[in-house]
Amino acid sequence: MSVFNSTPVASDTCVTSATSTNIVSPTPGYTGRFAPSPTGPLHLGSLVAAMASYLDARAHQGRWLLRIEDLDFDRNVADADRHILNSLQRCGMHWDGDVSWQSQRQPLYEQALKQLAAQVYPCACSRKEIADSRLRAGSTASQIYPGTCRTGLAPGKAPRAWRLRVPDGEAAVFQFEDRLLGAQTQDLASEVGDFVLKRADGFWAYQLAVAVDDAEQGISHVVRGADLLDSTARQCYLQQLLGLPRPAYLHVPVVTNADGEKLSKQTGALAFDRGDNDVLQEALLPAARFLGLQMSPAVRDLHIFWESATAAWAQYLARQPAQQPIQQPHMSLK
Ligand SMILES: [Zn+2]
3-state percent helix, strand, coil for the chain, nearest multiple of 5:
35, 15, 45
Neighbour count for residue 234 (Cβ, 10 Å): 23
Confidence of residue 24 (pLDDT cuts 50, 70, 90): low
**What interhelical angle do 44-59 and 302-319 show, nearest 10?**
80
Q: How do 63-68 and 100-101 pair as beta strands?
A: parallel
pLDDT digits (tens, 9 = 90+) for 264-305: 766 666 777 777 788 999 999 999 999 999 899 899 999 999
Residues linked to residue 173 through DSSP beta bridges, in sequence order: 187
157 is in an annotated binding site: no
- Write the CA distances from 13 to 16, 57, 145, 307, integer angstroms: 10, 20, 43, 18
Domains and CATH numbers, the chain: 11-108+205-319 (3.40.50.620)
34 or 324, greater pLDDT: 34
Concatenate the DSSP letters of all residues of 213-269 into one string.
Answer: HHHHTT--EEEEEGGGGGGHHHHHHHHHHHTPPPPEEEEEPPPB-TTSPBPSTTTTP
Distance (Å) from CA 136 to ligand 1 centroid: 15
pLDDT digits (tens, 9 = 90+) for 126-173: 888 887 776 766 655 456 888 999 999 999 999 999 999 999 999 999
Distance (Å) from CA 129 to ligand 1 centroid: 8
Distance (Å) from CA 22 to ligand 1 centroid: 55
What's residue 166's pLDDT?
97
Please tell me the pTM assigned to this model.
0.86
pLDDT digits (tens, 9 = 90+) for 65-100: 999 999 999 999 999 999 999 999 999 999 999 999
